[in-house]
Every structure is written in C-alpha cells, then in structure tokens.
Amino acid sequence: MITADGRAIGPAVSRFTPLRVASLARAALGACALAHALFIGVAAADDALPERSAIYRSTDAGRTWAPVGSGMPAGTQVSWVEPWWGGRLVVATDDQGLWIGDPARRVWAREEGLPARKITVLHVAGDDLFVGLHEQGIFARLSEGGGWIPFNDDLADLRVRAILRMPAAILVATDTGIFMRTPGRQEWKRVLSAGQMVTLDRIDANTIVSGGVRGAAISRDGGKSWHWIHRAGAAHNTAILDSSIVLMNISGDVFRSDDVGRTWRKLRYAPRAGSYVYDMVAVGKTWMASNNYGVHVSEDRGEHWRLVFPNERSVFIDLAVVDGVVYAGAREWKERRARSR
C-alpha cells in the first residue's frame, strides 16, 4: 500500500496503493492499527527486543535477535534489506536514504548522491545497485564506476514498486503494470497492463513471478509475456522458497504452489487477526515469516507454524539471509494490542 506521504509498505516492500492492495509490498501501517483496535482479549506478551535498532540479527532461526544497526539515526524506518558482497548489507529506508554496512562490525555509511525522496524499492544485482524513488522512477549505481544515474528514459510510469535485472533485460513493476528494457535500447516496453504490480521474483533463467492488486502472474519467457496463475486476493509480497512459490496476500492469507503456479495450497498460521505476513525466507529447512505479532517458523514447508519470537512493538518489515544468519529491517509500531484467543 502507498501511504499519503508516498511510502510503499507491503515487497520485499505492504507494497500497494489503497487499491497494492503492493513492497512490501506492505499495506499501510495506519490501516492495520485501526483493524487491530477492533480486537479485544488477552494482552500481548512483553516486547523481547533488547534495544531499539533499525537492523537486527538472528543466528538461531528467529528465536532471539540482537541489534546491529548502531550508527543509523534513531527512529529510522527500514523498507528493504538486501545482501551485498563481502558480507555487507544494503538497507533502504523511508526517511534516511540508503545505507551500506557490515553488520558483523556494526559499521554503517549513508550513500550520497541520491535525490532526497522515499525509497520505494531496492534491488541488488551483482555489484550493481538499483532503487526506485517515490514518483521519480529508477536510479542505478553501476559497477563500472560513477555515481547514481537515472534509468528512466521513456518509462511511462515512474511509480516503481519492484525491479529485476535479468541477463537480457531489466523489468520493473509499477502502479500500471510491468515494463521491460532490453540491453542496447534506451526505451521501455509495457509487457503487462494489470494495475499495480509490486513484486518480481525469478524462479529460473526464464521464469518470473509477480504479485499485485489483481493477484499473481507468471512469465515463462524472461518477462516478454505474462498470464495469471492466482486470482484469490491481492498479493502484496511473493517469495521463492525451496523451489515453491509463496504468495502473501494483503488479507493475511498465504498460499504455496509446488508446481510453478498450476495448483495452490493455503497455509495456516496464528496469530494473524488484523495482520498479514510482511516477508518470508528460508533458513536451511526452516521457513520464517514475520507479521505484527512477531516471528513464526515452520519446519515442514509452511504446513505448521510456531510463534517463536513474540514482538508487538516493532515490525520486521523485510528479512534477508546471509550464510544462515537472518537479518531483519525494523519499523516502530508503538502499539500494544489485545486479541481474542
């Protein structure tokens, strides 16, 4: 969802406008707060986080978390976390720009040269970095040197929600569909007109899945053509876990496909009242998901879940895995909720 001030919450960043029904994408936190206020019951468990931080690290599959974001401004609202080379992380934020750092040493530096706009998407492709800026399209910092450059050319929709660089093309998901740009041609071609699309996940060399306000679509030819594979609700985030496609809907429903979108199984987890899953990753054989109640894990590909880290004061909006270590980008929630059991 896109908030009034331009923040895309939901893909990584939910990632929708009031329709993303989209990045993570990630629905407006204010709307979720209203929904939570309608539930009554037993008070939630105490916050287990040792201190406030923009980035946390877990070495035990989500059971405990340590702050590693020291050096970033207090109250930083993280949108995206992506691994980079040398054990570093790239962190995109709502209000503090882009940061690159070594979480093991807790050393962070802010990237210079980007316009002072909210970052709506972050994509790391090898040594190259791509970001989407609120209503300003795509900017890239390429490995051959130089600073940040606009990558828009004739892109018809600058409200970019997801970016994916393929070997033979760059794809972007926007509020009006998906566009493609091929090497050597400084022009964008619309390849899917579908309203707001907010994720792009690569399954193999030619197969890509995208989630959005109308559901999920797939391309089997490197992004040139698309067809729908799931229409049961708006997908605000997608993930590829152990060769399965996972859809995270804005309704809170989660679906898994083990046959590249031909059939789907609905996954059940709790608690979930008034919430939805922000992100999901695999750590070995363990699947991990974050929602407004904390961190859940499953040892059987999502068939059964346990809430292993209750946390209702912060939102782990995006998750990244590096050599078995999980990093979480956090946003302040500042709310205690009660819920029926």
Confidence bin at 17 (pLDDT 50/70/90): very low
- Residue 310: Cβ within 10 Å count: 14
Residue that has been written with the tokens 């605000």 in this structure: 236
**What's the pTM value of the predicted model, to 2 decimals?**
0.85
Judge whether residue 282 has pLDDT over 90.
yes
- pLDDT for 133: 96
What does the alpha-carbon distance between residue 192 and residue 219 come to, in Å, rounded to a whole number?
Answer: 10
- pLDDT for 334: 55
- pLDDT for 240: 98
- pLDDT for 60: 96
The H-assigned helical ranges of the chain are 29-37
What does the alpha-carbon distance between residue 250 and residue 272 come to, in Å, rounded to a whole number?
Answer: 12
- pLDDT for 146: 79
- Superfamily designation of domain 29-339: YVTN repeat-like/Quinoprotein amine dehydrogenase (2.130.10.10)
- pLDDT for 47: 59
What does the alpha-carbon distance between residue 259 and residue 257 come to, in Å, rounded to a whole number?
Answer: 6
Residues 110-126: what's their mean pLDDT?
A: 94
First CA to last CA across the chain, in angstroms? 28
What does the alpha-carbon distance between residue 133 and residue 92 come to, in Å, rounded to a whole number?
Answer: 10
Identity of the residue numbered 130:
F
Residues 279-304: what's their mean pLDDT?
A: 97
Structure tokens at 170: 């760059």
Cβ distance 305 to 289 under 8 Å?
A: yes
Query: Which of 33-56 are b and which e, b meaning 16 or more Cβ less than 10 Å from the residue's Cβ?
Result: eebbeeeeeeebeeeebeeebbbb
- Residue 59: Cβ within 10 Å count: 13
Where along the chain do its domains lie?
29-339
Closest CA to 159 of 127, 113, 119, 188: 119
Judge whether residue 238 has pLDDT over 80.
yes
CA dihedral sign, ordered 34, 36, 42, 44: negative
Residues 111-136: what's their mean pLDDT?
A: 94
